[in-house]
Structure 1
Amino acid sequence: MIQVVQLFSCLDKISYIQWALDSEYILCGLYKRPTIQVWSLTQPEWTCKIDEGPAGIAHARWSPDSRHILTTSDFQLRLTVWSLVNTACVHVRWPKYPVKGVSFTQDGKFAAVCTRRDCKDYINLLSCDTWEIMGVFAVDTLDLADIEWSPDDSAIVVWDSFLEYKVLIYTPDGRCLLKYQAYESGLGVKTVSWSPCGQFLAIGSYDQMLRVLNRLTWKVFAEFTHLPNVRGSSNAVIFKEEDEELQFDISGLCLSDDPRESNFGMCA
């Protein structure tokens, strides 16, 4: 039976919520105010409020240690790291995106943040212990789309916008290991993903092709075509997913006057 464990009242309409990775805290983004409220599941009396003031808030997220919150201001003027431990904050100027362009290592020790200034894309490496900038290097992109650390934290993949097909692999110290272009004309990269073992890199493109690179040689290991029309044997089984509107019947729910005692079981 589902029960209400805690009930928290926010100052305004909630635009976004996110659990901390340790499941002890809940982040509530009140972007219109603009304010972030943080609640503790184990200590209901503990509260935290982050007010960005005129800068506004476009997005907020947890750091891997669940003790810091990263907020991006409106118009990407700055990215701010807020500490829940000592109330300190660190600013990174000119983040490129409010949501994309931030990637953490698997061990949670470092963060890569994309910034853009003077019509040039950069990657800033930050230590998640002190949040100091450990290094900054420029990347060879026309309009950087996103980045992602490799599963072993030894490399960062960077890909350009759909206007230019370009995938780049950099080491954390800024050395370029690979510059891959499948073709020059036409729309470029749509999505990129590392395999869980880090041995392969999958690249989905707007030409309806999936290319898999082998990390040992950085050569194309396999290519797969995703066609709009499936042509196969007559006995092939084809599944089609259709969107249907979900319908819920709440007429049988029992709710107590006290929200803390509410349960969502069916009425007898």
Structure 2
Amino acid sequence: MDFTEIYRQSSQLVAFSPGAHFILNAVADRLVARQHPHPDSSTHPPSHTPISHVAWSPDSEYILAASAKKGVVDVFKLRDDAWSARIEAGAEGLLNAIWAPDGRSVLCFSEWGLRVTVWSLTTASANYLQFPLHPDRAYAFRSDARYFILAERHKSKDTLGVYDTANAYNLVRHFPLPTSNLANLALSPTGDHLAVWEGILQYKLYILSLAGDIRASFSPHPEPAFGIRSAAWHPNGLFLAVGGWDDKIYILDSLTWSPAVTFELSSRIPSGATLWREPPNWLEATQGRGFLSYDKLPGPQSLSLLRVDPTKPHPKTGAVQLEWNITGSLLLVRYENVPTAVHIYEFPSPSSSASSATTPFNPRLRCVLSHTRAVQAAQWNPVRRGSLAMCCGAGCMYTWSDEWVGEGEGGDGGRMWRKEFEAREMKWAPDGKGVVLMDKDRFCCAFEVEEGEEGG
């Protein structure tokens, strides 16, 4: 991989366009669009107040820049500098702004949970959805973009609204939810099932249909117990991974909605898994620039777990990230009480497990990636099924891939170094050929080159 120059950015507001041809970033009150990976750029007029949100329309034709403090959303057209639009929230305020899948409508979430306003750029009209429960979560578009799902609060009760995006966001269904204090929801990739779960004080999850029927409930602990931190649907919707503060990952299957397998964090890495450890003093060995493989330590090995006081609020334990790769053959888990490690669990493919009634379903811990510093961000490549990138707040990028398998031994790993740069956040380009790395107020891009591709 190769690196671009370092550019300025604010609040880690950097985003690739959906086609990966452009990259957008905010610098205080200005928007800058660059053609990736070339340095040519265009700057859009300042909004005279710090930008809090930026986003590309799904077709990469328009750019959204919102200022929550000022309560305005500015929209620009990439290929027409003379065109622009402004949405003013008014007295209701503004907390969040997102694109609808049609790329011609903007959803604005007001303060105090008053409403979501759907603004159309083509008709200059607005539709209103009342009382959203959260401004930054608990909503989703179905994969075909036909319906918008929104968790709401009506008469002090959790409810769900289903809106028809093809019919001016008219209400299709509205039904009460079984939760008393909904934390979040996750819509299955097939759009058939909806997972909703309670807040931090209750470990309860429910599976519903979009008609409002409760299909199942899941609560592995007697009350009281800390709740669910994250949940992630398998790409084909057959499984749901659920993690809380108990250092366990429950894999629910879509037939019984009970755990098909449970993973539990342990300081001991079993003999069937591999520990990939960051080599000591490798930065000095490469003189601050270069590529080096992880040290491979076959199991059994051990990890150091942080001691946690369960009596204190928000204990630093449990799964802070659950993420499936594009095919669902690998599950990435980051546990907060092992901040320097990334656990990768391997799942048999649906085709192989269904090929024979006697074929065992036996997911397992494949490997653990151990680093000297806490992992700040980790993300699967959106195109290549076994390619993973990570950053740890240092001037380097970490990668792991099962494409580097040698005689069935597992994966391999490496790191890329960037001088005078501390990567705290990262995002893959949609085509999987580049990564944007961000520190506090700067960013650069790492992208594939024709030669030496094995170095990435």
TM-score, length of structure 2 as denominator length: 0.52
The answer to whether the aligner puts 1:3 opposite 2:75 as a matched pair is no
Amino acid at match of 1:4: D
Aligned to 1:179: 217
Question: What amino acid is the match of 1:111?
Answer: F
Q: Which position in structure 1 is the counterpart of 2:197?
A: 159
Q: Give the match's secondary structure for 2:80.
A: coil
Contact kept, 8 Å, 2:150 with 2:160, in 1: the verdict is yes
1:53 counterpart residue number: 90
* 1:12-27 superposed matches below 5 A: 12=48, 13-27=50-64
Q: How does 1:33-72 map to 2 (within 5 A)?
A: 33-72=70-109
Q: Which has the higher strand share?
A: 2
| 1:69-84 superposed matches below 5 A | 69-84=106-121
The separation in 1 between residues aligned to 2:99 and 2:140, in whole angstroms, is 12
Q: Which residue of 2 aligns with 1:197?
A: 236
CA distance in 1, matches of 2:201, 2:52: 32
State the Cα distance separating 1:92 from its structure 2 match: 1.2
Quote the residue 2:249 is aligned against.
Answer: 210
Q: Deviations over 1:146-170 (max 9, x none)?
A: 1121111111111111211111111
Aligned pair partner of 1:224 in 263, 273, 295: 263
Give the direction of change, closer, same or farther, for the CA distance of 1:232–1:172 in structure 2 (3 Å limit): closer
Question: What whole-Å deviation, never above 9, does each CA across 1:80-135 have from its counterpart, x for those lacking one?
Answer: 11111101111111111111111110111101001112221001001111211111
| Runs of 4+ residues deviating >4 angstroms | 231-235
Among 103, 106, 128, the alignment partner of 2:165 is 128
Give the secondary-structure state (helix, strand or coil) at the position aligned to 1:45.
Answer: strand
**Aligned with 2:81: secondary structure?**
coil
Find the aligned partners of 2:150 and 2:269 in 1 and give their Cα distance. Answer: 43
Contact 1:112–1:125 (CA<8 Å) still a contact in 2?
A: yes
Q: How many residues align?
A: 249
Question: 1:94·1:116 contact (CA, 8 Å) conserved in 2?
Answer: yes
Q: Is the 8 A contact 1:142 1:164 kept in 2?
A: no
Separation in structure 2 between the aligned mates of residue 193 and residue 241 of structure 1, nearest angstrom: 28
Secondary structure of 1:46 counterpart? strand
Residues 218 and 258 in structure 2, CA contact (< 8 A), matched pair in contact too: no
Q: Which residue of 2 aligns with 1:145?
A: 183
Shift of 1:189: 1.1
Any stretches of 5+ residues in structure 2 without a counterpart? 1-36, 272-296, 302-367, 374-391, 396-419, 422-443, 445-456
Partner letter of residue 213 of structure 1? L
> Would the alpha carbon gap of residues 241 and 157 (structure 1) be closer, same or farther in structure 2, given more than 3 Å must change?
farther
Q: Supply the distance in 1 between the matched residues of 2:38 and 2:269 (Cα, whole angstroms).
A: 47
**In structure 1, the residue corresponding to 2:38 is in which secondary structure?**
coil
SS of residue in 2 equivalent to 1:6: strand
Q: Percent identity?
A: 27
Secondary structure, aligned partner of 2:256: coil
Alignment partner of 1:99 is 2:136: yes
Matches of 1:164 and 1:184 in 2, distance apart?
9
| Unaligned residue ranges in structure 1 (runs of 5+) | 249-263
Tell me how far apart the structure 2 counterparts of residues 161 and 134 of structure 1 sit (CA, whole Å).
27
TM-score (norm 1): 0.87
